[in-house]
Amino acid sequence: MIQLTHTPIDFAALTESVRSTQAGAVVLFLGTVREMTQGRQTVALDYDAYPEMAEAKLKELEAEARARWPVIEAGIVHRLGHLELGDVSVAVAVSCPHRHQAFDAGRFLIDRLKEVVPIWKKENWSDGSTEWVHPGTGEAAELSG
């Protein structure tokens, strides 16, 4: 299951949805909103997406994972909008016959998601400023809060 949502992610239901009697292993990855980044304090994150392309890319990643590992079921849900500290921003659940496959497939999905899926986070720093996170652009990109 692939989903973008503006409401809190029910990761227990997502995990349950990938369970199968064919699977000996279920792996769940959660991305959560972290308070400290290189000494700076986050108070919230805002996530934006290009929804059509993001959903298409997530489906491609699922298909690629299924081609590489014996995935029984996979589910990826990404939250959009305003998230507070500790909120779950992304959940990836994978079931496979054996644990190494499930860990590898799950890691592949979250690693590739962060590289190719058009979703962006904006930091809301504790000093009141905001800043889009755009890896590799090599500048502070600081905007007035």
Partner 1 sequence: MKTVLKLFARARDLAGSPALELDLPDSATAADLRIALGERVPALEPILSSLLIAVGNDYAAPTTPVAGRTDLAVFPPVSGG
Residue numbers at the binding site for partner 1 (CB under 8 A)? 31, 47-50, 52-54, 56-57, 78, 89-90, 110, 113-122, 132-139, 141, 143
Q: With respect to partner 1, which residue has the nearer C-beta, 42 or 57?
A: 57
> Smaller CB distance to partner 1: residue 70 or 88?
88
By beta-carbon proximity to partner 1, the closer residue of 39 and 138 is: 138
Alpha helix stretches (DSSP H) within 19-87: 51-68
Q: How far is the CB of 20 from partner 1 (least distance, A)?
A: 26
Q: What is the DSSP string of 28-44?
A: EEEEE--SEETTEEEEE
Helix H or strand E encompassing 120: strand 119-125
Q: Which helix or strand (DSSP H or E) is residue 4 part of?
A: strand 2-5
